[in-house]
Amino acid sequence: MADLHRDMEKLAVDRLGTSMRRLNEAIDSIRAVRMDPSVDIEAKILQVLPLAPNNSISERLLALVDALSEAIAEAEALESSRDPPVNKTKPRAPLCLLSLRDYTTVQAAVELILVWGAYSCVEAGILTPIPQRVVAKTFKIDRAMVQHVATLESNPSTPAHLDNALRGLLHVLQLSQFKPMLLPAYLADLLACLVYRIHCQPSPPPTVAAARLRQLMDVLPIRVFMGSLRGVLATPHASTLFVLSSIPFTLKLLFIH
């Protein structure tokens, strides 16, 4: 049994290493792309991303993040069932040990999935304009190129695509590796997208989005959740529908809590 568990741990570590390496390579390749009107930027980025069931840039990037999220979740599950170390004076390395570079890669991937995957699915004015977004110094990706890709007509803009982007983002951001730092940083964006999906895109029914919103309310301290929600509602929005739909939503939250 012990040998089997060690084999499972080795496989989990290998899977985590492979998925992290692929994401690192993808983000490094994207960092090398610079805005150039004479170059087909979309084709250049697609060339450095592995194929996915769908061919949009955000979906390919999301597939890499999904693979990493699954690998981390598997390793964390094995970590929780490990026997105590034989020699307590020599702590062993955790199965989910990530480097600073890995962390900044995930942070960059989250930003790109949000900007390239969610912005095209919501009305202009709901989320912070891309040039005004505050990103980490480690982002190191050409902002003009990022905005150019975000405005491509080929970007999916359906409610189903927004659901998928939110699913992937919430999955990775709620992992213990990233939840303390990255989830609060993106909580306002996620709440704005969820509220928009629930109240401004009624078809198909936003059942999953509503469940994800309730889950956030359950797992986050109410002070953190409400603070981010107040920030979303206090921000001037160009969409009258979004503003009006937020009123009953807010009243419902106040009634619940």
How confident is the model over 191-213, as pLDDT tens digits?
999 988 988 888 888 999 989 98
Three-class secondary structure of residue 246 per DSSP:
helix
Name the one residue in this structure whose structure tokens are 């790109």.
Answer: 112
Q: Please give the pLDDT value at position 167.
A: 97
Model pTM?
0.87
- Cα–Cα distance measured from residue 21 to residue 15, given in angstroms and rounded to the nearest whole number: 10
How confident is the model over 26-79, as pLDDT tens digits?
999 999 999 999 999 999 999 889 876 567 899 999 999 999 999 999 999 888
Higher pLDDT residue, 244 or 127?
127
Q: How many Cβ atoms sit within 10 Å of the Cβ of residue 171?
A: 17
C-alpha separations of 242 from 53, 122, 148, 159 in Å: 32, 10, 25, 15
Among residues 69, 72, 68, the alpha carbon closest in space to that of 96 is found at 72
- Cα–Cα distance measured from residue 204 to residue 71, given in angstroms and rounded to the nearest whole number: 31
Cβ contacts of 99-105, under 8 Å, gap ≥ 24:
101/24, 102/20, 102/24, 103/177, 103/178, 104/136, 104/138, 104/139, 105/20, 105/23, 105/24, 105/27
